[in-house]
């Protein structure tokens, strides 16, 4: 108890220095928490991918459509369990700036292939029966203040209706969640049949197929059979695992991992220098006091531990405040950016990493001053005074 009291008094003897050092660490961990959560959100599609789920797209370009007839052909391939398909609708709500990620899908098969999407049975049943119904993700529903039973206009910046205009009216039949917090719920699902019957062009075509195999070990075999089935046709295919497909999509916007590593590294390197220099100066100021403690019988190892604990306490004080600030920012940003980003979550993995870095920061910045205090000679220390 006496040691902790001395540590506390040493830590708080110069309050302005304590505040500035803590603030620097706070900023570093605020950046760390926010950026790592963003990275986790961008990689959620890769992390949450099912091992046995494959995606089939046009070989030339992801934006090129495939014939609807491919659905039944893929179903007949050995090793395939379930097949569904989707079309990009290109939706927006009221104004083009209010983008809403929208897919036209076959309801029953889509929900079979994506069992991680959770909907109340009554809502799901109603959506299955109502062709003008729409199933809305929880995040996008919160962002737009939508609720079950609302009628909403959804316009497309790609397609138009046969009757003219680019706006469809939908009734919200249900709101889906993910069975895990990281699963993206910032999009909506409409009936493919209704979309196909009412659009003015591009009928009887699909954007891509999603399928599950009987076992993940069959993925490569099934992918090769699918692509060979449609080889030399007007619509050749490229089949990959969902994980590989999502990773390739994310990589199109750059090496996110490298960018994030660069930002975090520079922030921590700067803070390491600042805190390390602060601790060295603090111990140097206490040379005479350390000599007095040793004269009074304090063992060198005891003083060594006190200096390290002080350094670690400083790192944890600023770090925990920073992570707390990041949590508040992420919670607010998650609601505001529901239209543009998957779920922003400060997960337990990020928190554990942050705690580990706080410990490392405390040990690295405290080790040199602690060794200096350990080796300090009493006679030399008094002669300096």
Q: What percent of the chain has pLDDT over 90?
A: 39
At 71 the pLDDT is 94
At 131 the pLDDT is 93
E strand or H helix at 173: strand 167-178
At 376 the pLDDT is 67
At 267 the pLDDT is 75
At 258 the pLDDT is 67
At 229 the pLDDT is 93
If you average pLDDT over residues 196-212, what whole number do you get?
88
Three-class SS of 189-253: EEEHHHHHHHECCCCCEECEEEEEECCHHHHHHHHHHHHHHCCCCCCCEEEEEHHHHHHHHHHCC
Residue holding tokens 């999603």? 210
For 105-127, write each residue's pLDDT tens digit: 999 999 999 999 999 999 999 99
For 127-180, write each residue's pLDDT tens digit: 999 999 999 999 889 888 999 999 999 999 888 888 888 899 999 999 999 888
Delimit the domains of the chain by residue range: 2-45+254-384, 60-235
Q: Which residues contact 357 (CB under 8 A, 6 or more apart)?
A: 29, 32, 268, 319
Assess whether pLDDT exceeds 90 at residue 334: no
If you average pLDDT over residues 42-67, what whole number do you get?
82
Residue holding tokens 């994310």? 250
DSSP string, 36-47: HHHHHHHTHHHH
For 286-327, write each residue's pLDDT tens digit: 766 776 777 777 777 787 888 888 888 888 999 999 999 988
Smallest CA-to-CA distance from 303 within 371, 381, 215, 385 is with 371
If you average pLDDT over residues 251-265, what whole number do you get?
66
Q: Is residue 138 within 8 Å of residue 186, measured between CB atoms?
A: no
Which of 246-275 are b and which e, b meaning 16 or more Cβ less than 10 Å from the residue's Cβ? Answer: beeebeeeeeeeeebeeebeebbeebbebb
At 113 the pLDDT is 95
At 162 the pLDDT is 85
Q: Is residue 291 within 8 Å of residue 382, measured between CB atoms?
A: yes
Q: What percent of the chain has pLDDT over 70?
A: 88
**DSSP assignment letter at 115:** T
Confidence of residue 239 (pLDDT cuts 50, 70, 90): very high
Mean pLDDT of the chain: 84
At 339 the pLDDT is 58
At 85 the pLDDT is 96
Higher pLDDT, 337 or 49: 49
At 349 the pLDDT is 82
Most confident of 219-228, 268-277, 339-348: 219-228
At 1 the pLDDT is 54
End-to-end, the C-alpha distance of the chain in Å comes to: 29
């Amino acid at each position: 108890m006496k040691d902790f009291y001395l540590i506390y008094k040493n830590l708080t003897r110069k309050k302005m220095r304590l505040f500035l050092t803590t603030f620097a660490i706070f900023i570093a961990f605020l950046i760390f928490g926010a950026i790592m959560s963003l990275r986790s959100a961008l990689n959620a599609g890769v992390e949450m991918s099912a091992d046995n789920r494959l995606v089939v797209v046009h070989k030339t370009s992801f934006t090129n459509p495939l014939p609807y007839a491919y659905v039944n052909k893929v179903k007949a391939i050995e090793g395939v369990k379930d097949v569904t398909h989707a079309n990009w609708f290109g939706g927006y709500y009221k104004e083009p700036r209010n983008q809403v990620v929208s897919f036209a899908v076959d309801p029953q098969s889509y929900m079979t292939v994506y069992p991680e999407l959770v909907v109340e049975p009554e809502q799901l049943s109603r959506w299955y029966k109502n062709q003008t119904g729409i199933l809305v993700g929880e995040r996008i529903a919160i962002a737009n203040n939508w609720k079950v039973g609302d009628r909403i206009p959804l316009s497309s910046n790609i397609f138009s209706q046969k009757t003219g205009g680019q706006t469809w009216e939908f009734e919200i039949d249900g709101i889906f969640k993910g069975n895990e917090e990281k699963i993206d719920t910032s999009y909506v699902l409409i009936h493919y049949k209704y979309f196909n019957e009412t659009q003015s062009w591009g009928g009887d075509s699909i954007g891509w197929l999603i399928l599950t195999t009987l076992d993940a070990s069959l993925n490569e075999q099934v992918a090769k059979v699918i692509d060979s089935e449609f080889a030399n046709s007007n619509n050749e295919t490229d089949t990959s695992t969902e994980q590989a497909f999502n990773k390739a999509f994310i990589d199109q916007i750059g090496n996110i991992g490298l960018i994030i590593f660069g930002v975090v590294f520079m922030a921590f390197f700067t803070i390491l220098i600042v805190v390390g220099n602060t601790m060295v100066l603090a111990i140097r100021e206490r040379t005479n006091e350390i000599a007095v403690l040793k004269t009074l019988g304090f063992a060198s190892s005891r003083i060594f531990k006190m200096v390290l604990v002080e350094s670690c306490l400083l790192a944890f004080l600023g770090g925990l405040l920073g992570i707390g600030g990041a949590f508040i920012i992420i919670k607010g940003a998650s609601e505001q950016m529901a239209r543009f980003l998957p779920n922003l979550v400060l997960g337990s993995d990020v928190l554990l990493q942050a705690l580990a870095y706080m410990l490392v920061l405390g040990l690295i910045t405290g080790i040199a001053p602690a060794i200096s205090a350990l080796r300090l000679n009493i006679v030399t220390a008094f002669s300096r005074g």
